[in-house]
């Protein structure tokens, strides 16, 4: 009998609903992850439980409310659509599923389901093009923790970061050029906005910042256009990677740059951070600063070009197994 193989797409996670209670539960899990907040729990947990979880969930729930769709959270809906689109793409013996690092569907549950379905080999695919300990490593950690409970473990592989993979760069180029072709104005600046991280993580050797800069450089070279790189979603008082996306947007109109297109190459799926923070709040700050034309271009999501890219990357990682 042919051996069974599993491919598990993994993304960050999202609340079950756009309400304060669900967001509080989600943030408690997310922000207690020591890969995400690298402050000793004895100092961090009182701040998290005493201040952050009493203030942020209400504000974040209001933001989630603005982007919530009929299919639920955009992040979950898109990740599920990617998984559905890849079903059968690697042959009849390869099952594709999806899971979230925080919230549901949980990585441990979906891995157990794959094992129960008879998968002897599993490819974990953290859907983060740029490696970051706070995203890639923690998703893989969670999967390894599930295997730690098993006597008879499946064989495991992990999808490496693909920030400089020609297939990924070509997919971004195609998607962004399609977005630009649909605009009724010519942007003076193209802004590649990546999720930020504390500056300290770069100093400690996390390659995330370098991966982001390389993606933007390769994309700029491929498109023959200059890219402005910025980092969004700053959290807390520590120094984060610069320049910040909001400050970058606000600084442009006074310099005569009033028409921009912005996109988020580090996000595999549109989510709160792109649909609310960039497309809604980013536009507001740009226009308040005097900008006249603003376009947010979507992530690769479950587009044909995006799914084909994932298929190429995952087929390569499955070599020798299928």
Ligand X SMILES: C=CC1=C(C)c2cc3[nH]c(cc4nc(cc5[nH]c(cc1n2)c(C)c5CCC(=O)O)C(CCC(=O)O)=C4C)c(C)c3C=C
Give the residues lining the site for ligand X (CB under 6 A).
Answer: 12, 14, 27, 36-37, 56, 60, 73, 75, 128, 132, 134-135, 195, 197, 208, 233, 235, 266-267, 271-273
- For the packed helices 53-67 and 20-30, what is the interaxial angle rounded to 10 degrees? 110
- Is residue 209 a known part of a binding site? no
Least spacing, CB of residue 36 vs ligand X, in Å: 5
Q: Which is nearer to ligand X, 36 or 278 (CB)?
A: 36
**Rounded CA separation 129/214 (Å):** 11
- In the complex with ligand X, the residue whose CB is nearer, 74 or 187, is 74
Q: Are 187 and 259 in contact (CB under 8 A)?
A: yes
State yes or no: residue 136 binds Fe ion (CB under 5 A). no
Residues 75 and 305: their CA atoms lie apart, in Å, by 18
**Partner interacting with residue 298 (select from ligand X, Fe ion, none; CB below 5-8 Å by kind):** none
Please report how close the Cβ of residue 204 comes to ligand X at its closest, in angstroms: 13
Chain CA centroid to CA 266, Å = 6
Residue 235 Cβ vs ligand X, minimum distance, rounded to whole Å: 4
- Return the number of the residue (37 or 122) whose C-beta is nearest ligand X: 37
When CB distances are held under 5 to 8 angstroms depending on the partner's kind, the choice from ligand X, Fe ion, none that residue 271 binds is: ligand X
Residue 97 or 273: the one with the smaller Cβ distance to Fe ion is 273
Q: Which does 303 bind (CB under 5 to 8 A by kind): Fe ion, ligand X, none?
A: none
73 near Fe ion, judged by CB under 5 A: no
> x/- site string to Fe ion, residues 222 to 261, per CB under 5 A?
-----------x----------------------------
CB of 197 to Fe ion, least distance (A): 9
The option from Fe ion, ligand X, none interacting with 174 (CB < 5 to 8 A, set by class) reads: none
With the C-alpha atoms ordered 195, 197, 202, 207, is the resulting torsion angle positive or negative? negative
On whether the CB atoms of residues 98 and 110 are closer than 8 A, the answer is yes
d(C-alpha 278, C-alpha 233), whole Å: 9
Identify the CA nearest to 195 among candidates 315, 75, 291. 75
E runs forming strands in 14-138: 94-102, 119-126
The reply to whether omega before 243 is within 30° of 0 (cis) is yes
3-state secondary structure of 72: strand
User: Closer CB to Fe ion, residue 37 or residue 85?
Assistant: 37
Position 270 contacts Fe ion (CB under 5 A)? no
Residue 35's SS3 state is coil
Residues 287, 117: Cα–Cα separation, whole Å: 53
- Single out the residue of 196, 255, 263 nearest to residue 231, CA to CA: 196
Q: How far is the CB of 243 from ligand X (least distance, A)?
A: 16
- Is 276 among the annotated ligand-binding positions? no
Task: For residue 277, state whether it binds Fe ion (rule: CB under 5 A).
Answer: yes
Contacts of 7 (CB under 8 A, 6+ apart): 86, 90, 94, 95, 96, 97, 122, 123, 125, 314, 318
By C-beta, is 31 or 111 nearer to ligand X? 31
Tell me if 165 contacts Fe ion by CB under 5 A.
no
Binding site for Fe ion (CB under 5 A): 233, 273, 277
The annotated binding site for Fe(2+) is made up of 195, 273
Binding-site residue ranges:
195, 273
């Amino acid at each position: 009998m042919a051996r069974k193989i599993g491919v598990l797409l993994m993304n960050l996670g999202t609340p079950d609903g756009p309400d304060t209670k669900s967001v509080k539960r989600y943030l408690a899990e997310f922000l207690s992850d020591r890969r995400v907040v690298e402050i000793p729990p004895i100092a961090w947990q009182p701040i998290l439980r005493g201040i952050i979880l009493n203030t942020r969930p209400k504000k974040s729930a209001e933001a989630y409310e603005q982007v919530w769709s009929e299919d639920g959270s955009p992040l979950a809906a898109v990740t599920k659509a990617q998984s559905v689109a890849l079903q059968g793409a690697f042959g009849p013996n390869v099952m594709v599923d999806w899971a979230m690092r925080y919230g549901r569907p949980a990585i441990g549950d979906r891995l157990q389901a794959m094992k129960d379905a008879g998968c002897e080999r599993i490819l974990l695919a953290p859907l983060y093009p740029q490696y970051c300990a706070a995203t890639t490593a923690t998703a893989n950690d969670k999967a390894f923790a599930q295997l730690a409970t098993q006597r008879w473990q499946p064989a495991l592989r992990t999808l490496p970061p693909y920030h400089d993979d020609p297939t990924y760069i070509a997919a971004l180029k195609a998607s962004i050029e399609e977005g630009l072709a649909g605009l009724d104005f010519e942007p003076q600046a193209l802004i590649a906005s990546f999720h930020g991280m504390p500056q300290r993580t770069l100093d400690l050797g996390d390659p995330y910042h370098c991966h982001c800069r390389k993606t933007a450089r390769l994309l700029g070279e491929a498109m023959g256009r200059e890219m402005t790189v910025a980092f969004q979603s700053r959290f807390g008082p520590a120094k984060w990677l610069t320049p910040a996306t909001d400050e970058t947007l606000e600084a442009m109109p006074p310099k005569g740059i009033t028409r921009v297109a912005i996109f988020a190459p580090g996000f595999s799926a549109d989510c709160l951070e792109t649909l609310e923070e960039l497309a809604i709040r980013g536009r507001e700050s740009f226009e308040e600063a005097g900008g006249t034309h603003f376009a947010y271009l979507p992530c690769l999501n479950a587009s044909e070009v995006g799914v084909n890219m994932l298929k190429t990357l995952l087929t390569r990682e499955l070599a020798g197994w299928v």
